[in-house]
Amino acid sequence: MASHLAALDNDRIRRFLAEKNSSEPILVVDSEIVRDNYAKIAHALPDTRVFYAVKANPAPEILSLLAELGSCFDCASVVEIDMALATGAGPERISFGNTIKKERDVAAAYARGVRLFAVDCREEVEKVARQAPGSRVFCRILADGAGAEWPLSRKFGCVPEMAVGVLEHAHRLGLTAYGVSFHVGSQQNNVGAWDSALASASQIFRDCAERGITLSMVNLGGGFPTRYLKDIPAVEAYGEAIFEGLRAHFGNRIPETIIEPGRGMVGNAGVIEAEVVLVSKKSEAADELRWVYLDIGKFGGLAETMDEAIRYPIRTARDGDAMSPCVLAGPTCDSADVMYEKAPYALPVSLEIGDKVLIEATGAYTTTYAAVAFNGFAPLASVVI
Amino acid sequence: MASHLAALDNDRIRRFLAEKNSSEPILVVDSEIVRDNYAKIAHALPDTRVFYAVKANPAPEILSLLAELGSCFDCASVVEIDMALATGAGPERISFGNTIKKERDVAAAYARGVRLFAVDCREEVEKVARQAPGSRVFCRILADGAGAEWPLSRKFGCVPEMAVGVLEHAHRLGLTAYGVSFHVGSQQNNVGAWDSALASASQIFRDCAERGITLSMVNLGGGFPTRYLKDIPAVEAYGEAIFEGLRAHFGNRIPETIIEPGRGMVGNAGVIEAEVVLVSKKSEAADELRWVYLDIGKFGGLAETMDEAIRYPIRTARDGDAMSPCVLAGPTCDSADVMYEKAPYALPVSLEIGDKVLIEATGAYTTTYAAVAFNGFAPLASVVI
């Protein structure tokens, strides 16, 4: 029988998996691809500082590699700050990018030397002013997220009109009103998505200037996609579109910029090897859809299949055979643990119980999303090579 | 300031939380309530064996208590089987209830003495026949789940017409075709929901009898609800309705029955204490909705708020004050981590950052659903008292 590994382009991951012969699902991340992604992003946006979104994949090897390459870190919690600091990177390379922070966590970050904080309301500004005096804050504004595949809610950010008041409040409380941030939505396929947010940002710069406050930074957020099933624009196209937006809205007074790639940095660097546990049908009817059950599902690391948002490429040893649509589900006793059903997924008709499959582009938002022990299944194993 | 704990009816949990003074979210489960639930369920269905659905909450103290009370265990994986065996319960008290099993896991269960397996297709029957010869199998059939609050998909079970062939296949392969199982949907509020499934089961009994196969067991599944915000029928009403259904469809040849309560056994025994991290608005508009952010959310244990399915009762120290609707969200940097937004949740207008809140009826499907480390946040802490 052909090996599923023959379907894999990546030699390093192929060799590792062949040798490992894992009996449980495992994510393998190729550090060379992460290195390459960093270089491409840095090259596409040469004047922009890169803050890697640690939450996308906090594996220590990835953080250390990125620290060595010069990356800064966007952290969501004190634990993530400690992980970033453990690489040897100094606290000046860390942004506490979560707009929802316990006041004691602001204090803990400040004690570690962190001086850059995200806010989106006056209440959060006050926490930072009390616990991290003199720090820089940037205010997150709402962006519409059109064109993004992973749903953006209104959870983070305020309307642009409110941001001026928030930054003014920070200024009055002795903080440095540093700039504006936004997020155009994760897995953003529209390179023009940054334009309207940049227009809002430049308006906030002008409104603050009228109040005597000079902002200096625009945080462009993340959103850079990973190639799943559909082609995506090249990183260069994003860089060009963003630069054009900056020129259009800030003229010759282009601010300092930072970006926070997560998925775009590690997504395509990872492959999950999993196993087919069952292939069956629900009735004897000739046109009945097959159900394919893997040993990984929504609660084992593929949480981003929620609402069938992210469709991962799946390779098998039988990819040359005839294909037919099937419902793809996970191994737990939870009826919500179904990945693709509304839009069934085409897999080889010859796929069998016990076959291994490769789920590609799974380097981001998989390991840490895994449930700690649902149904007794261990969280997703992970290796960086 | 009034304590949030004053809002809590349960003295034991109140005393524990007051003494513990936890700075992170914590689930406290009162074992006395679990004991009481077991007694009520056993009393309502006196001729039915209880198989506790371990996945609902596998805390060792809960499993040991239930083992001592005489409960059997419905297990989803080999890890759960080992947890059940660790209580001292023998393997004859275990059902491997997952219809999606790796063949090597069937073998591992058999090696531990387990002789009762769920199946819903011929392929799964064949795994059991090869690895667990002579065992009892029951075939799960699809039930419609109308009236259930937690969505039931078609993931488990086959149509009733197919079940006869599956059980006949088991019989031919030397297994004991033992019976039929179904699940009417978790958090099932309609006591009549079992009736149509029992009608299907009795038809399968008759069809198998015509083929010379005598089935003897009906597994009534779970579905018994926990009281969240709305009142639910008493356990006795479920017992009566099920008994009536059995009498109506099986006449005076009522089969052996088992039930698999999970939520109904532990849901109302648990309370999560959490903290308000931020209360803010997205704009200065007078009618703008408040957003309330807790230090627990969809990825920290409240996964069942997915699609706003389960609405937990939330108590605060300010419950006598005026209430107003708000969007309720978790602490992670993930825009999907919003619990109630389409149907906003009424909370006191006076609620403040730093307030503690009590999320009731959270004993089931919380701890094990928690993400292992998303955003660096630790999984939900849990204590059984």
Does one domain contain both A146 and A169? Answer: yes
Q: How many whole angstroms from its chain centre is CA B243?
A: 22
Interface test with A, best of B85, B281, B335, B353 (most A CBs within 10 A): B335
Q: Are the beta carbons of A371 and B374 separated by less than 8 Å? A: no
pLDDT(A152) > 80: no
Does one domain contain both B22 and B109? Answer: no
Does one domain contain both B54 and B20? Answer: no
Output phi, psi for A237, to 5 deg: -65, -35
Q: Are the beta carbons of A80 and B151 separated by less than 8 Å? A: no
**Which among B203, B234, B266 is the end of a domain?**
B266
Q: Please give the interface size between A and B, counted as residue pairs whose CB atoms are below 8 Å apart.
A: 215
Q: Are the beta carbons of A375 and B80 separated by less than 8 Å? A: yes
Does one domain contain both B293 and B197? Answer: no
Is the Cβ of B211 closer than 8 Å to some Cβ of chain A? Answer: no
N-term to C-term CA, chain A:
27
Degrees (nearest 5) of the Cα angle A369, A374, A376? 130
Does one domain contain both A132 and A242? Answer: yes
Number of domains present in the structure of chain B:
2
Question: Range with the lowest mean pLDDT among A66-80, A155-169, A175-189, B247-261?
Answer: A175-189
pLDDT(A1) > 50: no
Run of H or E residues at A32:
helix A31-44
- Looking at residues B292-297, what average pLDDT do you find? 96
Question: Range with the lowest mean pLDDT among A169-183, A221-235, B145-159, B176-190?
Answer: B145-159
Q: Are the beta carbons of B100 and A151 separated by less than 8 Å? A: no
Query: Which chain A residue is nearest to residue B282, measuring alpha carbons?
Result: A158
Task: Work out the pLDDT band at B98, boundaries 50, 70, 90.
Answer: very high
Q: What distance in Å separates the CA atoms of residue A135 and residue A118, rounded to the nearest whole number?
A: 11
The chain-wide mean pLDDT, for chain B, equals 92
Which residues of A have a catalytic role annotated?
333
Q: Are the beta carbons of A284 and B165 separated by less than 8 Å? A: yes
Run of H or E residues at B109:
helix B103-111
Q: Which residue has the tokens 């499993």?
A: B63
Q: What distance in Å separates the CA atoms of residue A369 and residue A365, rounded to the nearest whole number?
A: 6
Does one domain contain both B114 and B236? Answer: yes
Does one domain contain both A103 and A239? Answer: yes
Interface test with A, best of B54, B73, B98, B100 (most A CBs within 10 A): B100
> For chain A, how big is the Rg over CA atoms in Å?
22
pLDDT(B1) > 50: no
Task: Work out the number of other CB atoms within 10 angstroms of the CB of residue B12.
Answer: 14
**Which among B266, B293, B314 is the end of a domain?**
B266
- Nearest-Cα distance to chain A for B52, in Å, is 13
Contacts of B121 in chain A (CB under 8 A): 278, 280-281
Q: How many whole angstroms from its chain centre is CA A366?
A: 10
Is the Cβ of A214 closer than 8 Å to some Cβ of chain B? Answer: no
Q: Are the beta carbons of A375 and B77 separated by less than 8 Å? A: yes
| Domain of residue B152, CATH code | 3.20.20.10
Q: Are the beta carbons of A371 and B370 separated by less than 8 Å? A: yes
pLDDT(A163) > 80: yes
Contacts of B207 in chain A (CB under 8 A): none
Does one domain contain both B175 and B244? Answer: yes
Q: What distance in Å separates the CA atoms of residue B310 and residue B303, rounded to the nearest whole number?
A: 9
Give the domain range for residue B57.
31-266
- Contact (Cβ atoms closer than 8 angstroms) between residue A172 and residue B312: no
Q: What distance in Å separates the CA atoms of residue A115 and residue A117, rounded to the nearest whole number?
A: 7
Task: Work out the pLDDT band at B150, boundaries 50, 70, 90.
Answer: low
Q: Are the beta carbons of B376 and A153 separated by less than 8 Å? A: no
ipTM of the complex: 0.91
Is the Cβ of A100 closer than 8 Å to some Cβ of chain B? Answer: yes
Interface test with B, best of A102, A155, A290, A302 (most B CBs within 10 A): A155
Does one domain contain both A84 and A217? Answer: yes
Contacts of A275 in chain B (CB under 8 A): 102
pLDDT(A186) > 70: yes
**Which among A214, A233, A266 is the end of a domain?**
A266
Query: Which chain A residue is nearest to residue B372, measuring alpha carbons?
Result: A372
Q: Which of A8-12, A25-29, B180-184 has the highest mean pLDDT?
A: A25-29
Does one domain contain both A133 and A250? Answer: yes
User: Which residue type, as a one-letter code, is found at position A89?
Assistant: A
Question: Range with the lowest mean pLDDT among A28-37, A72-81, A107-116, B306-315?
Answer: B306-315
Q: Which distant-in-sequence residues (6+ apart) come within 8 Å of A127 by Cβ?
A: A101, A103, A106, B353
Degrees (nearest 5) of the Cα angle B325, A197, B327? 10
